[in-house]
Amino acid sequence: MENVYLIVVAMAVVTFLPRVIPLGFFAGKKMPEWLVSWLKFVPISVLSAMLILDLAWKDDALALTPSNLLLPASALAFLVAIRTKNLFATVSAGMAALALLRLVA
Amino acid sequence: MESATPQLLPPPRPEFLRARRPVVQPERRQTLPEPAPRAELPRLEVHGVSTQFGLASGITCAIPIVLGYFPVAFALGILAAQFKFPFFAIALMSLIVFAGSSQFAALSLLTAAAPAWSVVLTVFVVNFRHFLMSLAIAPQLKSWSLKKRILFAAQMTDETFALHMNQFATKDPGEAHIFAINMLAHSAWFLGTVSGYWVSWLLPDTRALGFDIAMPCMFIALIVLQARNRLLILSGVSAALFSLAFKLAGLSHAAVLAGAIIGATIGAGVERWKTST
């Protein structure tokens, strides 16, 4: 694993480029209207796609089973998020719920 | 001071009211004494900007992100220690890569002795979504210098991006506010990783504490904050369903990206269709 540092640097480069290219080069440009309206839907789409795969996909298979404790815990987190609209409250509620469920199960 | 200042700006008037207004206004202006309303408004607005957004407000806004990042980074540090991954490599990774899910993916690939190119490619694919985010926030930062935009880009994550976009939807929060959030989030990520690594001998199994749901819960909170109307919800739900479908179809790391692109296209498409009919 002696070249692990090199790999980390390469990871940083391929992560940095997509982050910086639009901000560095397109920030001053006027974007077409369809692109602007499309971009409004990007954040929620990316977050939802990542969330569902974190929760319902495990070990290369769909994990929509009762034994997947992430599902009830995240359902509770959703309720807390809707009520409080608070990041910290949501994270703590989800973690507490999952820890409790694991203790019981 | 006044907690009411953020609500200062009235909602935009509907079109039919706006059209009628000029007919009434000129007559009133002539009869009413000028200075009173004029002097009042700008002063309050300046006051509102100076007290609402700045370094202090940035620190306050960063607290939930810091509290969310720290445990996730902590879990990453613990995992790295359990895998006997070199300490300086994981610390460097959190410093210069600073992209949560890709770091977890890279860590498990590296310890499984995957070839270097596949690790780097995976990280690239997992993080390519930042391209869309960077594109989405670029118009808001167009007045910034190139140097500041590059620094912003280097520290942009899903969570800070979503937070900034939410704030830009109401008002430009300013550089001090934005960088306070980004710097604190970055520090929390780095310090969380480092402390997780060193505390790993205290907590042999983080799963018992529910650390693995910290990241999904952050996504949940941000999704709820983003879900301001039905079209946004529709695009989120479609993105989720399509990314699952892509996974089932055998796509691995590109599933998120492909699902998100389709979800956003559905949202934008329905919006266009509704306005045209």
Residue A80 is encoded by which pair of tokens?
């807390």
- Per-residue pLDDT tens over the stretch B83-111: 889 999 999 999 999 998 789 878 878 88
Distance from CA of B122 to the nearest CA of A (A): 9
**B221/A34 touch (CB, cutoff 8 Å), yes or no:** no
Tell me the one-letter amino acid at A65. Answer: T
Tokens of A25: 């080069």
Residue B248: pLDDT over 60:
yes
Identify from A4, A25, A31, A45 which residue to disrupt to test chain B contact, counting B C-beta atoms within 10 A and taking the largest count.
A45
Q: How far is B36 from chain A (nearest CA, A)?
A: 39
Q: Which of B217, B237, B118, B251 is nearest to A60 (CA)?
A: B251
Does residue B113 or residue B26 have the better pLDDT? B113
- Each as own residue / partner, the long-range contacts of residues B168-172 (CB below 8 Å, 24 or more positions apart, any chain) are B168/B137, B168/B140, B169/B228, B170/B6, B171/B9, B171/B52, B171/B53, B172/B53, B172/B140
| Smallest CA–CA distance from B90 into chain A, residue | A8
In this predicted structure, the answer to whether residue B7 has a pLDDT above a threshold of 60 is no
At B152, list the tokens. Answer: 């912003």
Q: What is the mean pLDDT of residues B122-128?
A: 84
The pTM (predicted TM-score) of the whole model is: 0.70
Looking at A49-53, B21-25, B240-244, which range is the least confident one?
Answer: B21-25
The residues, any chain, with a CB within 8 Å of residue B141's CB and separated by 6 or more, are A23, A27, B148, B149, B152
Q: Is residue B44 predicted with pLDDT exceeding 60?
A: no
Q: Which residue of B has its CA nearest to A10?
A: B120
**How confident is the model at residue B200, as a pLDDT?**
84
CB A102 within 8 A of CB A69: yes
Q: Say if residue B226's pLDDT is above 90.
A: no
List CB contacts (< 8 A) between B145 and chain A: none
Using the predicted structure, report yes or no on whether residue B30 has a pLDDT greater than 50.
no
What integer pLDDT is reported at residue A76 of this predicted model? 97
Q: Where on the phi/psi map is residue B205: left (φ > 0), alpha (ψ -120 to 50), or beta? A: beta
**Contact call for B259 and A82, based on CB within 8 A:** no
- In this predicted model, which residue has the larger pLDDT, A105 or B265? B265
In A, residues 40-79, which contact B (CB 8 Å cutoff)? 40-57, 62, 70, 73-74, 77-78
Give the number of A-B residue pairs with CB atoms closer than 8 Å.
295
The owner of tokens 């930042």 is B130
Q: Which stretch, A64-68, A69-73, B252-256, has highest mean pLDDT?
A: A69-73
Tell me the mean pLDDT in the region B174-183.
94
Residue of B202 and B251 predicted with greater confidence: B251
Indicate the average pLDDT of chain B: 80
Residue B166 tokens read as 């939410």
pLDDT band at B122 (very low <50, low <70, confident <90, very high): confident
Q: B5-17 burial, b for 16+ CB within 10 Å, e for fewer?
A: beeeeeeeeeeee
- Closest CB to B119 among A7, A44, A48: A7
Chain B contact present for A105, CB below 8 A? no
pLDDT at B205: 67
